[in-house]
C-alpha cells in the first residue's frame, strides 16, 4: 500500500498570472490564457489533474500536509455561506476566519480529520 500525502490546496498559475484552484473532487476548472491555450485543474483535495502544455507550462502551486503551516494557512480555504447560511458560497483562507468560526467548525465536527487538524493548528498558531 502506498502512503497517501493529503492534498490541502490544488491550484496552478497560468502563464498570464491567473490562478486556478479546484476546491473539491469534481470541481473541474478551466481557463483560456492570454496565450490562447486552455488550462485546467480538477480533483480538489483528492487528486491533482491537469492538462499540460510543454511550450507554455503552468506553475504548480499545490500544497500538501507536508508543507509549512504558514503557507497552508494563507492558501487552504473553507467554504462558507455566512453566519445564517443564506449567502452565496465563498471560499475563505483559514487565516481570515474568526476564531469563533473555527471553534464552531471544530465543535460541530465539520470537515474531515485532516481539515480539523488544520483548524486546530490555526487556533494554536494564533496564540
pLDDT value, residue 82: 87
DSSP states of 54-121 = TTSPPEE--EETTS-HHHHHHH-EEEE--TTS-SPPEEEEGGGS-HHHHHHHHHTT-S-HHHHHHHHH
Rounded Cα distance, 51 and 67, in Å: 24
pLDDT value, residue 35: 97
Rounded Cα distance, 48 and 11, in Å: 9
Q: Which of 111, 40, 108, 39 is nearest to 76 (CA)?
A: 111
Inter-residue contact 99 to 116 (CB < 8 Å): no
Neighbours of 80 (CB within 10 A): 15
Indicate yes or no: pTM above 0.85.
yes
State the cell numbers at 83.
453566519
pLDDT value, residue 85: 87
**What are the residue ranges spanned by the domains of the chain?**
7-64, 69-126
Rounded average pLDDT per 10-residue block, the chain, 127 residues: 84 97 95 97 96 93 97 96 91 96 94 96 97
Rounded Cα distance, 59 and 22, in Å: 15
pLDDT value, residue 2: 57
Inter-residue contact 106 to 116 (CB < 8 Å): yes
- Report the SS3 class of residue 4: coil
Amino acid at each position: 500500500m502506498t502512503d497517501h500525502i493529503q492534498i490541502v490546496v490544488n491550484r496552478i498559475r497560468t502563464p498570464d498570472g491567473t490562478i486556478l484552484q479546484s476546491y473539491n473532487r469534481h470541481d473541474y476548472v478551466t481557463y483560456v490564457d492570454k496565450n490562447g491555450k486552455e488550462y485546467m485543474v480538477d480533483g480538489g483535495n483528492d487528486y491533482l489533474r491537469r492538462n499540460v502544455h510543454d511550450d507554455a507550462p503552468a506553475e504548480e502551486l499545490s500544497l500538501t500536509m507536508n508543507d509549512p503551516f504558514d503557507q497552508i494557512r494563507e492558501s487552504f480555504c473553507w467554504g462558507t455561506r455566512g453566519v445564517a447560511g443564506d449567502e452565496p458560497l465563498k471560499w475563505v483562507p483559514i487565516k481570515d476566519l474568526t476564531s469563533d468560526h473555527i471553534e464552531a467548525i471544530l465543535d460541530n465536527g465539520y470537515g474531515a480529520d485532516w481539515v480539523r487538524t488544520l483548524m486546530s493548528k490555526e487556533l494554536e498558531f494564533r496564540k
